[in-house]
Structure 1
Amino acid sequence: MGSFRIILLTYSLLVAIGIGDTYGQDKAVNTVNDSLQHFMSESKKFRAAFKIRKSLDYAIRTIDLAHQLNNDNYKYRGHYMMASNYQVVHDFKNMEFHGNEALKYARKTKDTIAIVYSLNVLGGVYSDGYEDLAKSIKYFNESLAIAEKLKDQSKKMAPILNIGWAYVDQKKYDLAFPYLNQAQNIIENHPGEVSIIAINDIKYLFGKYYAHKNNYEKANKLFDEVIQLAEEKEIYSILSNTYKAKSDTFEEMGHKDSAFYTVKKHLYYRDHLLDEEKLRQIETAKVNYSLNEFKREIENSKKEEEYLAKIERGNLIIIISSISLVLLVGSVFFFYLGYRSKQKLNVTLQQKNKELVEAKLEAEKLTNVKSQFISTVSHELRTPLYGVVGITTLLLEDNDILAKHKKLLNSLKFSGDYLLDLINKVLKISKIESNKEELAKTPTNLALLSQNLLHSFEYQAKNKNNKLVLDIQKELPEVVNIDSLKLSEILINLIGNSSKFTENGTIWLRVKVKSIEKDTTIIRYEVEDSGVGIPDDKKEFVFEKFSQVGREVNKSEGTGLGLSIVKNLLDIMGSQIHLDSKEGRGTKFYFDLELEVIDENDNNQLDIDNTNTAQSYRRILVAEDNKINQIVTKNLLNLIGYDCIIVENGFNALQMVKKEDFDLILMDLNMPYLNGIEATKRIREFDQETPIIALTASELSEVKGECLAIGMNDIINKPLNKNDLRNIITKNLQY
């Protein structure tokens, strides 16, 4: 469910249920009209105070009296208030009913503004309640089209803001942004005609937008402004939403304590808004309204019976009245039984909801513990692996090594790489399950990316006597906007899977263009092999974690995590993986991606090759406390053409930078005396220019935000390999 939208029935409510006061009425019924206005005022007052039971009672009285007087204006306003109250407790079925009733009577009165706000109610039902974005936008756009014909531009505020809010709820922030700007323009051009609550809501939505864009400072500043006003006015829905958004922002920044504090505030205000008493009261009010509706039907029926009685004389009147009375008593008894049943069911549901909330909190706690455990263990495993893989790589670079030793070293490196791949895949699954994976799109040359990925499997293909074939359609755009890292992970897992189950065969990587327009294209990736294929009874399991389909046939090694990672990453990218395979005749995996096409003439960010890499003499400072890691890093730097000086902790690194000039610093994060974070902070006090790259065995997503925030330029995972180290140094020395 999307965020609870207070704008729909607070800002718009001020106008929607206040209109129509000037409709002409006969002076003889002024007293009755005063009663209608009194009922409506009381309902608004209690609704604003979140006293739902009392607000509903007065709204029902308004509707009852409006029916007696046949006053369509107050019928509309009463049903609008009913919808407002049902929205508070998320009873969207009843909200929809009363929203439609409000729209019906608004159209009868031909009041344009009433129609605008009734359509907003129904848009809110489908946005917040049924999560049907297309239908909600349809209602909001219809409301906006009518409002744009009015002279008062401020009347456009509710539909514009609701469209923006609907897109924010669905995390379509770029679609929401133009509507938020329109709403902001209305505030600037009509400052006296827009409510304080509407202004607060816009700040909240802009905060969500900037949080999504990783501008956390601006987002938190807006959230704090929203909270200050909402606490003064005791607007619990806004407080609940804003504290939840602020908690999510702190979580992204890695500020665990602040995230925990703000989520507690969110839960406090949410519980305040939706406590058990309010839910019990709403059930009571539903029954009261149903009984009044039934009594009105009986009254209409009695009028018809009285007319017939004049024709069929007194005996018929007695018979019909008796039947009517019996029906009324029976109906009341029926509603009473229904009410008792609903009460019992409501108590049961509340208990189940409480158990579900407790189970959810426990599950989230266990997930966090698991993620923390995996992250810690991975760090401890990666550190010694850095030495194993690094030293093995350096020895293999030695041309004088004996052939028999080279064979053993290749086996050792394979085992180290395999273990590292296992650690990385378990981390990836844990990260996806913790919902910490996010898209980071960059301009990318798909042809070059695909070519490089396939080339990386040449050694493995040669060992199995496989042929690698790259097939790219010439219509493929040169540059698209995509998360190239996630695409690479997907293709590496798929090509690796094909390589594992194929010998003396062919592996194809195809990139097809399904459709292309000016700014978007739909690309299909296919990875096909001529390997052993997948039996029909195994196909539904291949995307499950730790599945080992076919292992008993060809004894292939693997974790059984690769295809599960592919499926989850494609879910994040808005796509899904498809499988076409026959046992003994090969396998084909394919998926489609809708991508933004980048005009290469306007793109200055894409560096397709490294032809500009400077090979001039460079001096690098390495801060690393582990002796083996020092040896590996020094030799890797020498291999790629750089000289280095090594220090054992952050304090020594700080002293060296004060005394000598370096072109770049490689800074380990976990060191004695002074760690990499603190050392970087002190260096940045007097040196803002020298690039600093963090070295870490931790999961990058857990430390990257903090590293960049304190002034580091980049971050790389241990264990290092020669190519990654060369690329990241070259990248940071180009500036």
Structure 2
Amino acid sequence: MKRKSIIILIALFVLCYFNKASGASGFKAVLIYQQKNLQKQVDSILEVTDNKEYDLAIEMASSLINEAEKRNEPGFLFHGYNLLSITYDQLQDSVPALDYAKKALHFAKISKNDTLIAWGYNNLAASLSEYPETRNQALDFYKESLKIQRRLNDGEFLDAALNIAELYRDEKNYTMMYPYLKEAEKSYDGAYFYYDDPKVYINILWGDYYRGLDFPDRAFMYYNTAYDLAEEKKMDYLALDFYNHFADFLTEYGKPKQALKVYKRYLYYYKNKEQVTSQETFQLAQAHMEAEELRRARNDAELKQQILDQDLQRKKTQSVLLGSIIGLMVLFLAYLFYSERLRLGLIKNLKINNKHLKKAKDLAVKSERSKTKFFSTLSHEMRTPLYGVTGIISILEKKDAFADYKEEIGSLKFSADHLLDIINDLLDISKLEDDNFKLIKKPFNIKLLVEELVSSFQQNSLKNSNCQIICDVDSSVPNYVVGDSRRISQILLNILGNAVKFTPKGIIAIRLRSKILSSGLYKIRFEIEDNGIGIPKENHESIFDEFSQLDGIQSENKGTGLGLPIVRKLLNKMGSDITLKSEPEQGSVFTFAIEFAEATPEQVIGKNTSRSSEEELELTNLKDLRILIVDDNKINRMVTRRVLENQHATIFEAQNGEEALERTRKHHFDMILMDINMPGINGYETSKAIRVFDKSTPIIALTAAEASYVKQKVKESGMNDVITKPYNLKKFSDVIAKEIKGGNLIPG
């Protein structure tokens, strides 16, 4: 029942546009005449459509389109296609009706006439509303049409408002229906002659509105008015849609006599419709045939003209074409000659560049290897004397005679520990660039790890500081996860340490949040925020470069510039990365996320059992045990000797591998502490030689190199374990205790 806009006073548009005809030139007068002629065709088509001569209407509309195309009149092209759409709509052939409605809107937009564009949107929306899947699109087009009609405010009836109200009626959305129906009613002019009187539609929709709200008396009033108007104006096409609906309403609300009267009128119109259906079908088929014939004739004429034009063009271009071909051939040969010379030159340059690139690549690889070797050697050479320094500090720290120098010894120890941190950073950078680097995945309590880190900072780094660290771990984070706890600690230590350095006064917050992924893993998001001095945006990437430090930043300890590069490399190894948000004087926020598997109860129990066993290995008494220290460095031997003698062990020394072999052949030892890098035969070779005649005495390697690099060689040479210098006394004692307990050598 959607109303399509049909206007029979289009001549006004033509006359207004050419209102100055009295003073126009002869050309303009001809143009006005052609416009009036096209307008007459539009009026004629409306007349035959009203008489239901659909075949003739389609033929005339096709003729109008041909004339409008020749004269390049987009306004009349709109009318031609719009009338075709309306005709097929009345024949209930929705497919061509929709197609022609789209074309009509296209030419309305080309004409840039707002009135035509509004009609085009309205009529296309009416065709689209017939399909459930395009009703939303129809609603959008109706609203576009209504928007233009409101802007024009030219007194035209607002078909779009009426159609929008009907769409909302179909959806039983009476709240949205009301304002549009009210707006449509307000735009109705009783004194105006309408081709298709909208008053009937308005009354039907008001009846539907009040029926939907269960006000039957008011609904009957509007339905009855619509019925009288439809009968008066003989709107048989509307009666078929409305009368049956009205009769059902009358029956439902106890008016059987009136229902019978209305239903009889419905049957009357229905029988008339059946009688003309065969004629309309024939007319439609004939109209299709004639329209197709018109298109074919037009195409034939166009084809003949194209053939003539092509023949003339061919004769004009044949002579030019031959000369062009010859010229192109000459140019092509010249191009071939030039391109061949260019190709040979490029190949030569490419070979030279490839040689240079290979040299540069070899140099880069060599440089990278040299850097890795340099870091490894440097860390080893620095660890060896540092072993003596930290060892002596540990010994002096426990001596009562140096109690008055506790503060100085503490400062010395802090400096040594800081130097060790720098060495470890250098070595970590070297290791992380090695493809053989592996992460260790074991169960650990991530909440406890973070809390212990925060506690450690508060007790040490923040002891005399105006800075505070707060820890916020969400309940969604599982207690135990499987991962490399040492590397997680290293990442957090570096970021927190960086925050402490550049937050002289304020708050540092570490937050953990978690969500479960579809894979069953937990994605834990770490966020470390501070309100320190902040980082300029241009430096956000450079701070992750090795040895990078920010210029102009005031801090007592800027560090080596390796902490954040190590963090990024470790996170990349874990399949993650770090992001930074920071502005000067606004603080910084470092964020990263890592996926963890939750540890099973069996894994957690196994870990706790292992930890309990390790705790039992604590050793404070080595009385009556004979231990041989093999080391070419006198200071290192002295430090190790003092540590072991404090635990009441009996100590023997050898300054090289040859002396160690001689002593072990002649004497029994409960344990041998073997330095690896010694002049003459090194620790590996010495251990292999000892294992020839002594299979049981525990041999523990002492090395300044990173333990992970030497473990395999230690095992192959027959040694039992490895201790990295400078060592932590607790770890040193644990390794010795483990080996002695394994051989049942604990003194009783």
Return closer, same or farther for 1:568/1:654 CA change in 2, 3 Å cut-off.
same
Counterpart residue type for residue 425 of structure 2 = K
1:438 aligns with 2:441: no
* Mapping for residues 151-550 of structure 1, pairs under 5 Å: 334=335, 337-398=338-399, 401-403=402-404, 405-432=405-432, 435=434, 438-445=437-444, 446-457=446-457, 458-516=459-517, 520-549=521-550
Matches of 2:476 and 2:336, distance apart in 1: 68
The equivalent of 1:561 in structure 2 is 562
Counterpart residue type for residue 441 of structure 1 = I
Matches of 1:608 and 1:504, distance apart in 2: 43
The equivalent of 2:163 in structure 1 is none
Q: CA offsets, 1:146-199, max 9 Å, x none?
A: xxxxxxxxxxxxxxxxxxxxxxxxxxxxxxxxxxxxxxxxxxxxxxxxxxxxxx
Counterpart residue type for residue 464 of structure 1 = S
CA contact (8 A) 1:439 1:483 kept: no
The equivalent of 1:711 in structure 2 is 718
Q: Which runs of 5+ in 1 are unaligned?
A: 1-311
Matches of 1:726 and 1:686, distance apart in 2: 27
Return closer, same or farther for 1:463/1:416 CA change in 2, 3 Å cut-off.
same
The equivalent of 1:614 in structure 2 is 617
CA contact (8 A) 2:617 2:738 kept: no
Matches of 2:314 and 2:580, distance apart in 1: 80
CA contact (8 A) 1:640 1:726 kept: no
Counterpart residue type for residue 408 of structure 1 = E
| 1:696 counterpart (680, 695, 703) | 703
Any idea what SS the aligned residue of 2:692 has?
coil
Any idea what SS the aligned residue of 2:402 has?
coil
CA contact (8 A) 1:439 1:573 kept: no
Q: CA offsets, 1:667-706, max 9 Å, x none?
A: 2112345421111112333445554332112344554443
CA contact (8 A) 2:670 2:697 kept: yes
Overall identity of the aligned pairs, in %? 38
Counterpart residue type for residue 565 of structure 2 = S
The equivalent of 1:678 in structure 2 is 685
CA contact (8 A) 1:387 1:628 kept: yes
Matches of 1:639 and 1:353, distance apart in 2: 65
CA contact (8 A) 2:379 2:426 kept: no
Matches of 1:606 and 1:659, distance apart in 2: 43
Counterpart residue type for residue 681 of structure 1 = K
CA contact (8 A) 1:512 1:523 kept: yes
Matches of 1:541 and 1:680, distance apart in 2: 47
CA contact (8 A) 2:501 2:555 kept: no
Q: CA deviation at 1:406?
A: 0.9
CA contact (8 A) 2:522 2:598 kept: yes
How many residue pairs end up in the alignment? 425
Counterpart residue type for residue 521 of structure 1 = Y
TM-score normalised according to structure 2 size = 0.49
Q: CA offsets, 1:314-350, max 9 Å, x none?
A: 9999998997787677656655644443332222122
Any idea what SS the aligned residue of 2:540 has?
helix
Any idea what SS the aligned residue of 2:559 has?
coil
Matches of 1:694 and 1:442, distance apart in 2: 25
Any idea what SS the aligned residue of 2:566 has?
helix
Q: CA deviation at 1:571?
A: 2.8
Any idea what SS the aligned residue of 1:553 has?
coil
Q: CA offsets, 1:622-680, max 9 Å, x none?
A: 32232221232234346678775444333444455556665654321123454211111
Matches of 1:316 and 1:410, distance apart in 2: 100
The equivalent of 1:115 in structure 2 is none
Task: Give the CA RMSD over aligned residues.
Answer: 4.0
Counterpart residue type for residue 688 of structure 2 = K
Q: Point out the more displaced range, 516-525 or 348-357.
A: 516-525
Q: CA deviation at 1:596?
A: 4.3
CA contact (8 A) 2:618 2:734 kept: no
Counterpart residue type for residue 386 of structure 2 = L
The equivalent of 1:82 in structure 2 is none
Q: CA offsets, 1:426-455, max 9 Å, x none?
A: 3333444x5466123221413344344444
Q: CA offsets, 1:184-219, max 9 Å, x none?
A: xxxxxxxxxxxxxxxxxxxxxxxxxxxxxxxxxxxx
Matches of 1:705 and 1:514, distance apart in 2: 39
Bigger radius of gyration among the two: 2
TM-score normalised according to structure 1 size = 0.50
CA contact (8 A) 1:443 1:605 kept: no
Counterpart residue type for residue 440 of structure 2 = K
Return closer, same or farther for 1:644/1:347 CA change in 2, 3 Å cut-off.
same
CA contact (8 A) 2:443 2:604 kept: no
Return closer, same or farther for 1:332/1:570 CA change in 2, 3 Å cut-off.
farther
Any idea what SS the aligned residue of 1:606 has?
helix
Matches of 1:328 and 1:583, distance apart in 2: 67
Q: CA offsets, 1:386-414, max 9 Å, x none?
A: 111221122223356334x1111112222
Any idea what SS the aligned residue of 2:470 has?
strand
The equivalent of 1:238 in structure 2 is none
Return closer, same or farther for 1:330/1:709 CA change in 2, 3 Å cut-off.
farther
Q: CA deviation at 1:558?
A: 2.0
